Amino acid sequence: MPLMITFNQVCKRYPGGYEALKNVSFEIAAGEMVFLTGHSGAGKSTLLNMIAAIEHPNSGSVFVNGQNIATLKGGALPYLRRNLGLIFQNHKLLFDRSVFDNVVLPLQICGFDQRECTTRARAALDKVGLLAREKANPIALSGGEQQRLCIARAIVNRPSILLADEPTGNLDADYAHDIMDIFKSFHQVGVTLLIATHDEDSLRQYATRTLTLKHGELQ
């Protein structure tokens, strides 16, 4: 299997001297589902942010789909991100528009025509079980529903890599279970997943491979 994500001796130091990542190296092959775990502040979010080029390493290199993020030209960055589905801890939903419009945004950015947009957005909403709420405002959704909406927006583009930061963070066990099932179904169709979580239940039930961070170092 070709490599999807490669970290090569990556270090990240924040101004003020705090070291978030120390010499982190790992590889994730295409189609793998990998869990990233560790205590709060262990560097999980920093690591995910580096894959999406939201943050950059002080030393070492990050390769995504064979491309070195550091040498990526500014104009190529959006096209890298279109190949990533990002699921954020704080959802980052837009509350000035409907559930449907939130999901359709990535498609509009890619320039799909209206009909294609509608079909795909409906399919994504159906996948996460929110099709009945498409006209609602995201603010009216429960925490679990908001998380699923965030997932729908991440997958509507059919990305080959999904990155999820604490997707089950504030959810009770049933909701968490639903979401993990959704991820599992993506894994089954060949999507590469990297899921940061410290939810012991999910790890026990679903983890095939786990990366553990401790004070910025991979165990």
Partner 1 sequence: MKNWLTQHVRALLLTLRRLLTTPLSSLLSILVIGIALSLPAGMYVLLQNVQSLAQQMTGTPQISVFLNMGSSQEDTARIGKKLQQHESIGRIEFVPRERALQQLKKTSGLADVIGGLTQNPLPDAYIVYPKKNDAQTLEKLRDELQKWPKLEHVQLDSAWAHKLEALLDFGRLVVLILAALLGFALIAITFNTIRLQILTRRDEIEVSHLIGATNAFIRRPFLYSGVLQGLLGGATAWLIITVSLHLLNRSLAGLTQLYASSFTLHAPSPGDILTLLLFSAYLGWLGAWLSVGQHLWRVEPGK
| Binding region for partner 1 (CB under 8 A) | 49, 52-56, 74-75, 78-84, 86, 92, 94, 96, 105-106, 108-111, 113-114, 153, 157
Nearest to 161 by CA among 49, 79, 86: 86
Taking the complex as a whole, the smallest distance from the CB of residue 62 to partner 1 amounts, in Å, to 13
Sheet of 19-29, strands arranged across: 19-29, 3-13, 59-64, 67-68
Query: Among 93, 91, 89, which Cα is nearest to 165's?
Result: 89
- CB-wise, 138 or 176, nearer to partner 1? 138
The nearer residue to partner 1, 55 or 217, going by C-beta atoms, is: 55
Give the shortest CB-38-to-partner 1 separation in angstroms. Answer: 22
Report the nearest approach of partner 1 to the CB of residue 80 (Å). Answer: 8
Smaller CB distance to partner 1: residue 116 or 126? 116
Please name the residues in contact with 58: beta carbons below 8 A apart, sequence gap of 6 or more: 11, 12, 13
**What is the smallest separation between the CB atom of 96 and partner 1, expressed in angstroms?**
7
Specify the DSSP class assigned to residue 140.
Answer: G
Find the helix packing angle between 143-155 and 99-110, rounded to 10°.
20
Q: What is the CA radius of gyration of the chain?
A: 17
For partner 1, the closer of residues 135 and 204 by Cβ is 135
